[in-house]
Chain A
Amino acid sequence: MQSNAGKLAIVGVAIAAATILFIVLSGDDSDNSSSAPVGSVERDTETGESPDRGEGIEQADEATEEASSEIPVIVVKGGQPAGGVQELSFTAGQQIAFEVDSDVAEEVHVHGYDVIAEVEPGKPAMFSFQADIEGVFEVELEGSALQIAELTVNPE
């Protein structure tokens, strides 16, 4: 039906189109992501009680533009994360920093990064480490095997 040259031309055009599209689309994204706020805690407002902490989080949200001076706090009450599993989001290369405040003594384990810290009532666990692995990770209370937060590290 078509000559071999014709077929080759079609394949060539298709490859060129795919390549151009790839460059255009991937270029778009890097602009978007660099302007996106980073290091923010997406907190659920409906069930997010514990008013004292809630305000702190709001501030953290607003303060994200000036490179998080307020670090996110995960509150554990009676062995449960207040307001459900918290979402922490960072960009690769950043410093990951958050705090776990618990009313029970526990061990907090950040999977993947394998960072472990002890927490006790009145003695919050402070986390600070380089975001050098991209992906989605569980933050867990080791003793009760309960997930308290989901740490997301997006590529730059």
Chain B
Amino acid sequence: MIAARATRAAAATCLAAAVAAALYPPPASAHALVGKQDLPIPPWLFAWGAALVLVVSFVALTLAWRRARFEDENRRPAPGWVSRPVVNRATELLAGGIGVLLLGVVVWSGLSGTEAPDRNFSLTFVFVTFWLGLVAVSVLFGDVFRAFNPWRAIARGFAGLFRLVARQDPPRPLPYPQRLGRWPAVGGLLAFLWLELIYGDSGQVTAGLTPRTLAIAVLIYTAFTFVAMALYGIDTWIERGETFSVYFGMFATMAPVEVRDGRLGVRRVLSAATRWAVLPGSAALVLVAIGGTTYDGAQEGVLGGVISGVFGRLLDAGVNPTFALRATNTVFMALTLAFVAAIFWLGVRGMRSVGGTDMSLNRLGRAFVHGFIPIALAYLVAHYFSLAVFQEQAQFTYLLTDPLGDGSNIFGIAKDPIDYGLIGANAVWYVQVAALVIGHVTALVLAHDKAIAIYDDPRIAARSQYWMLGLMVGFTSLGLFLLSQANQ
């Protein structure tokens, strides 16, 4: 099986490379960003993880509580002497300034730095420090990105300048179409994932995503965001349309910390998630987040052989290799997303079949989808934890002191290479399995709590949760399975 797959992969690769060599001068330095990939989790750990998921689920069923605990956020504002030093005009300006500066460095290093992806500040910063790092920060400390959001900072700066110069308020924004909800952010998330996983796939036939292309993409997104903010208002767009605000904001609902009305406060952990999915498009956002990571895991393992098989066949048919690679990957990413969405909606349909509520399928799905935010987080940790540990070493050493990759040493810090021995395979495996199991438990807790809040009859609530339990066991097992098949 493995040999056959390897054969196909090898044949496709050879063929692709041969065709590519004939058609294109190969890129001079198409390094992958990652120098090391994770080993698949061994069969015994897979078995143990799966068994643990079942044990945990069984325990959760028997311990079921009868009163919803996370619906009430139990918010307590922090005392002024705690809140004021953190949230004030100066820190707001400082955070916004840092955000704008980093946006500037990304564009600058992307446009004028080296084309070697692993030596340029921009790629590691955008895809690891920003994209993964802010998820971790959001889960722990709440919606920190709001303060650092460079687009928000610049737009607010402009609005302030306008008031100063024109001595009147900026024109009132257009009413935001309510049915659009968070769908613009879903579109943005899909575009980002496509850029990262498909356009950025540096196979044998393409250089992948160069820092220059990334910088241009950032500039296009920036222009798009300003237009949308000008049309619909800064805060409305931040809340619904701005991809990164919405995405990080989704994970921030798990945090026990928030800033509201300019004041720091604490709230019951996870409680904000129960109210998050009220806008249209919220379910799609969670499912795309899960599906994107699923695809990335699958294309390196389970789907790897099939993808290179289809790719090889397209090459045989005389299709342009770069186009063939991207088309194949796009189709498989779409299939993966459809698969994830289909499992979810199947589970919701099953839950609806037990009765006890007159909610539409759509509303019922949205009522429970927040339970899958922890699973999306678990998938991210399982898949990208080691990448972040290794790439962040580069981020804070040579990429910081030499952002363009031209040999400079701005901060005079040692430019040590990445220490890949920092964490061993066993440590990575345990973190991966722990993330999935903890994500599973958290998801069960949220779903059970919501069921109590929604259903009047506790017996129907319990029966509805067999479906949710099935769904979550399914997603967690899928996560374990992807890990067991990784990079083979």
A interface residues, Cβ below 8 angstroms from B? 1-2, 7, 10-11, 14, 17-18, 21-22, 25-26, 28-29, 33, 42, 44-47, 79-81, 83-85, 87, 92, 111-114, 132-138, 144-147, 152, 154-155
Contact = CB atoms under 8 A, between A and B. Distances in A.
Contact of B6 (A18, A26, A87): A87
B88 interface: no
Nearest to A28: B44
Given A21-B51, A135-B37, 8 more contacts: A11-B63, A14-B58, A25-B48, A45-B3, A47-B10, A84-B7, A84-B11, A112-B36
A14 B55 contact: yes
A145 B10 contact: no
A25 B45 CA distance: 7
Interface of A is mostly: mixed
Nearest to B47: A25
Given A84-B13, A84-B14, A136 B38 contact: yes
B30 interface: yes
A83 B9 CA distance: 11
Given A136-B487, A145-B26, A83 B10 contact: yes
Contacts of A26: 44-45, 48
B44 A147 contact: no
A46 B55 CA distance: 45
22 contacts: A1-B66, A7-B62, A14-B58, A28-B44, A46-B7, A47-B7, A84-B11, A85-B13, A87-B6, A112-B420, A114-B35, A134-B39, A135-B425, A136-B38, A136-B487, A137-B37, A145-B27, A145-B29, A145-B204, A152-B39, A154-B39, A155-B39
Interface in B50-99: 51-52, 55-56, 58-59, 62-63, 66
B419 to A, nearest CB: 9
Contacts of B18: 80
Contacts of B27: 145
Q: What are the 9 A-B residue pairs with the smallest beta carbon separation, nearest first?
A: A84-B10, A134-B425, A145-B30, A112-B36, A111-B35, A25-B44, A136-B37, A135-B36, A112-B35
B32 interface: yes
B36 A21 contact: no
Contact of A133 (B31, B32, B36): B36
Given A10-B62, A145-B30, A146-B204, A136 B45 contact: no
B331 interface: no
B424 interface: yes
A7 B420 CA distance: 43
Contact of B7 (A11, A44, A136): A44
A154 B425 contact: yes
Contacts of B52: 18, 21
B426 interface: yes
Nearest to B419: A133
A112 B386 CA distance: 13
Interface string B1-21: 001001101110110011001
B318 interface: no
B56 A144 contact: no
A119 B75 CA distance: 66
A104 to B, nearest CB: 12
Contact of A44 (B10, B31, B58, B426): B10
Contacts of A154: 39, 425
B416 to A, nearest CB: 12
A137 B9 CA distance: 17
Nearest to B390: A112
Contacts of B59: 10-11, 14
B421 interface: yes
Contacts of A146: 17, 26, 204
Nearest to A132: B421
A92 B42 CA distance: 15
A114 to B, nearest CB: 6
Nearest to A154: B39
Contacts of A135: 36-39, 420, 425
A72 to B, nearest CB: 15
A69 B301 CA distance: 32
Given A2-B62, A25-B48, A84-B11, A134 B424 contact: yes
A136 B28 CA distance: 23
Given A25-B48, A46-B7, A138 B38 contact: no
Contacts of A138: 32, 35
A26 B469 CA distance: 27
A29 to B, nearest CB: 4
Nearest to B425: A134
A11 B56 CA distance: 9
A22 to B, nearest CB: 6
A92 B39 CA distance: 12
B435 to A, nearest CB: 16
Given A14-B55, A111-B32, A136-B487, A147 B37 contact: no
B17 A80 contact: yes
A155 B426 contact: yes
B425 A155 contact: yes
Nearest to B429: A155
Contact of A10 (B3, B63, B487): B63
B417 interface: yes
Contacts of A21: 48, 51-52
